[in-house]
Amino acid sequence: AQSVTQLDSQVPVFEEAPVELRCNYSSSVSVYLFWYVQYPNQGLQLLLKYLSGSTLVKGINGFEAEFNKSQTSFHLRKPSVHISDTAEYFCAGITGANNLFFGTGTRLTVIP
């Protein structure tokens, strides 16, 4: 069974509009959660991570995510997207065996 679930496989959004990419995690996942971004033909790059402390985590490129324990969610948000944000975004969590387990990805397409 997957440990993290990304609810949307594709998200189209207009430039300068806000965006939210959804991620839910299962109780089998330790409370270490991550968002990675993958630009075309490149490897994965860490956007942000939640290990402990403040539930609102700020990452690179203006992205942020909020850890919500009651809803078992870790949604990624950006108030205003740019064309350059077009990429695949992966939510991930650490399992009990210390494996980093990825969601199926959400393709964000920013429309000019």
Query: DSSP label at 49?
Result: E
Stretch that binds another protein, among 18-26, 66-74, 75-83, 100-108 (CB under 8 A): 100-108
Cα separation, 47 vs 12, in Å, equals 20
**Which residue type is seen at 72?**
T
Identify the residue among 7, 86, 102, 107 touching another protein (CB under 8 A).
102
What's the CA gap between 17 and 78, in Å, rounded? Answer: 9
Which of 55, 99, 109, 111 binds another protein (CB under 8 A)? It is 99
- Phi and psi at residue 76, to the nearest 5°: -100, 135
Residue 94 binding another protein, by CB under 8 A: yes
Tokens 């870790």: give the residue.
74
Nearest residue (CB) to another protein, 36 versus 110: 36
Which one of 7, 11, 44, 107 is in contact with another protein (CB under 8 A)? 44
Q: In this structure, what token pair is assigned to residue 28?
A: 């089998």
Distance CA 42, CA 35 (A): 16
Region 50-89 residues binding another protein, contact defined as CB under 8 A: none
When binding is defined by CB under 8 A, the residue of 105, 106, 108, 110 that contacts another protein is: 105
Site residues for another protein per CB under 8 A: 30, 32, 34, 36, 42-46, 49, 90, 94, 97-105
